[in-house]
Structure 1
């Protein structure tokens, strides 16, 4: 089973054009061409499960098309997508922000799913999706240390109620280093697929390990690698698990 985690930055791209004519102007530009390249990359990789962080679910940037739905249709996969922001929150009432979310796509049928929301932070979404043999959690944690630690405690409470094999993946934003996850890993008995601690951000010259694929002891990693791809500010993470 091949698992892909990718923070795609809404397909907005990187480089000088992203910051023209003002810093971060790329967030307000059309993302269709760059997302086409992301779709081609994912198609070549042929993952069984795709975990996408920072997905546009249908703003003007994408011509009002949901990126997750478009990719799922292209691959012939099942998918779920949801806003990163809790219903009723300010970002959910702001155009463009309201369409910013995360998504899971699966070759196998998704038989159940839930959307949990952290009590702290602005980005609060936890996607939980269950297939016949696996439960996947997808997160995008807070930029602030205090909120991240609170979110990790809440994530522990969610994950430890789950039976069977588990993968917890996402952009954890651990700017203080992977030691931020030490207590969470010890308490959940999860392991990191990236056992060498290879960095994934920024994509042009990775220096920080922000993205993680964590898995329960019932699973066995056959291979892990980080493709040299610069279609987003994050590099993708790929893990092959034994069947």
Structure 2
């Protein structure tokens, strides 16, 4: 079983380098469609090569003021995807007007099988959406946490409560914006149930010369020996992709791939 996680950065073609941030700062205000299509086609081809059973996306746009109201999601959907879902990442009961910059900003996932799932919303913060997805024998929680430390702490405590609801093999993954490092994961790690699987792989996010691991993949102890995670390069976003393979220990390679994050520019 294979899971791919990607924060698209709304396909603005900004890889996190200062050069791209300066030259393409206008993409934060308006991103031309051809720019978005380049990134989306790259991602689609990568997914075809990786052949994941579940693909999880953050910072994908359903159509907003800043991208010309272009819905990015249908381009990634293919005939073999039996479960497709996209939702606004903000509160479920808040409706944004067409000209709001928040409208269209979403999370999404694609699956090759018919999967039960729930779109849940955290009690605190602006970014609240958490997908609760049931793969065969494995539960996946996909989250995008707040940029504000105090809010993020409350969100992670609630996420830990949700993760403990069921005694089943569980994966918690997403963009947690852990600017203070792995210690922010204490609510999820303190009881020893979860392992921070990609901690040793290095950074997943870039802002100029600064690198950080903001995208943790946490797996429950009953999965740890069956999992292998890799970082996959995504040059049109400031976040790298994660690929997680789940199998029996003898089926997994022992090496962990770590592409060079020092991208040109």
Q: Same fold (TM over 0.5)?
A: yes
Deviation string, structure 1 residues 44-101 (Cα, Å, up to 9, x no partner):
122221111111123463763341x4323265342221111113437x3354522111
Instruction: Provide the secondary structure at the position in 1 that maps to 2:202.
Output: coil
Contact 2:12 / 2:27 at 8 angstroms: preserved in 1?
Answer: no
Contact 1:55 / 1:100 at 8 angstroms: preserved in 2?
Answer: yes
Contact 1:5 / 1:51 at 8 angstroms: preserved in 2?
Answer: yes
1:72 matched residue in structure 2: 77
Q: How does 1:12-161 map to 2 (within 5 A)?
A: 12-14=12-14, 19-20=22-23, 23=25, 25-26=27-28, 28-29=30-31, 30=33, 31-59=36-64, 61=67, 64-67=70-73, 69-73=74-78, 76-89=81-94, 92-93=96-97, 94-110=99-115, 112-161=116-165
Higher mean C-alpha displacement, 231-240 vs 39-48: 39-48
Distance 1:198 1:221, change over 3 A: farther
Distance 1:182 1:88, change over 3 A: closer
Instruction: Provide the secondary structure at the position in 1 that maps to 2:240.
Output: coil
1:11 matched residue in structure 2: 11
Contact 1:114 / 1:129 at 8 angstroms: preserved in 2?
Answer: yes
The gaps in structure 2 that reach 5 residues or longer are: 249-265
2:258 matched residue in structure 1: none
Deviation at 1:19, TM superposition (A): 4.6
Measure the CA separation in 2 of the matches of 1:46 and 1:3.
9
Deviation at 1:113, TM superposition (A): 1.6
Question: How does the TM-score come out when normalised to structure 2?
Answer: 0.80
Contact 1:38 / 1:231 at 8 angstroms: preserved in 2?
Answer: no
- Number of aligned residues: 239
Aligned-CA RMSD value: 2.5
Instruction: Provide the secondary structure at the position in 1 that maps to 2:143.
Output: strand
Instruction: Provide the secondary structure at the position in 2 that maps to 1:218.
Output: helix
Measure the CA separation in 2 of the matches of 1:74 and 1:17.
35
Contact 1:221 / 1:239 at 8 angstroms: preserved in 2?
Answer: no
The gaps in structure 1 that reach 5 residues or longer are: none
1:190 matched residue in structure 2: 194
Deviation at 1:131, TM superposition (A): 2.8
Higher mean C-alpha displacement, 78-87 vs 219-228: 219-228
Distance 1:195 1:229, change over 3 A: same
Structure of greater Rg: 2
